[in-house]
Structure 1
């Protein structure tokens, strides 16, 4: 299972295993097969084995998709960190609670996607979870959106929907050379030191965020 998941090899290896031992298919799907307590779906997601992921999801129970490895990560969380929307969609289609399960360091999938700057993933996850995000979830999410010019438009939409985020202190881990410090900054503090990526696109959105913040302060 482990090697097949890495190779995205479903049609030969796994089909043959399941034909020989059909009674134990559920066991193969959920057995921990790594030192980190990953099951086959964790491995397939990490290896970007899209076909393997889809086939596993089709056969697994809804509750099985929520199984976490030793780091506390579901396969959905790992997929969110990769930025590959095509990997999270089949899992979400079977279990809509997956985006709300906290993973490594207590982060949600949308938090880890924002941290990695995966705009398509952040946009998708925000669309399917915005009604379930708590105030604390939003406070954790906002800094990573504002700190990246390529996510400015998502940050502006967030501020428009939740104006209070413009004035509250946001818990933000500042990047350092050898360590990072957790500080409390406002939206304007973070925005003021965020470098621009493209003056043609990001600049206009940045001005929109600034205007929105000033209007609310």
Structure 2
């Protein structure tokens, strides 16, 4: 699932950086809420030891949903909880959310600070954007319990989570987020994107 999402987002998202993140009247993450890049930027002996021994195993454990072992690594090195652990800057929350591991996400959220939940990957996507695109209602609800503004925080290309859900044809998620997204500041292009995307992906009627 994560590999599939990466392919989709790479095809539709323009990468952001801290100086180029667009500012709109909608709720934004703080300019660019970048994950901790310490492990990716290491050189020398630290790079040889930390990335393959910490980041790579944690990435695999998050994909597998193996919380006990992932928890052991994070307790051993607390910086992992908000670190970019792979190319593209995903955090462990991004990966577990995209892989639809509900229990993993639930336990992980217990140890994350509020600012960790809104961290963005290289393309500007929060873990909530990934969860919305994956269509996992339970994970979305777990995150909303921590931050009710997540549906309004834009990801890559300035898209909101509801637009990501629609692009993936997630009918139930699209309708769910429609009621939770602050639409008063939607621009004409936002409405057009949502409208035509819903037509293209077959989201025509109310989900029951």
TM-score category, normalised to shorter length:
0.5 to 0.7
User: Unaligned stretches of 5+ in structure 2?
Assistant: 1-57
Per-residue deviation, 1:105: 2.3
Decide whether the 8 Å contact of 1:100 with 1:132 is kept in 2: no
Per-residue deviation, 1:117: 1.3
Secondary structure in 1 aligned to 2:169? coil
Q: For 1:152 and 1:130, how far apart are their aligned partners in 2?
A: 21
Q: TM-score, normalised by structure 1?
A: 0.62
Equivalent residue, structure 2, for 1:153: 205
The one-character-per-residue Cα deviations of 1:69-120 (angstroms, maximum 9, x if unpaired) are 1111111111111111122111111011211122122211101111221111
Larger proportion of helix: 1
2:180 is the counterpart of 1:128: yes
Change (3 A) 1:33 1:18: closer
2:67 is the counterpart of 1:14: no
Decide whether the 8 Å contact of 2:123 with 2:155 is kept in 1: yes
Q: For 1:131 and 1:145, how far apart are their aligned partners in 2?
A: 16
Equivalent residue, structure 2, for 1:213: none
Matches within 5 A, 1:1-217: 1-11=58-68, 13-17=69-73, 21=76, 24-25=77-78, 27-136=79-188, 137-149=190-202, 151-154=203-206
Secondary structure in 1 aligned to 2:195? helix
Q: For 2:185 and 2:167, how far apart are their aligned partners in 1?
A: 17
Larger proportion of strand: 1
Q: For 2:140 and 2:94, how far apart are their aligned partners in 1?
A: 12
Compare CA radii of gyration and give the structure with the larger one: 1
- Report which structure shows greater RCO (CA 8 Å, sep ≥6): 2
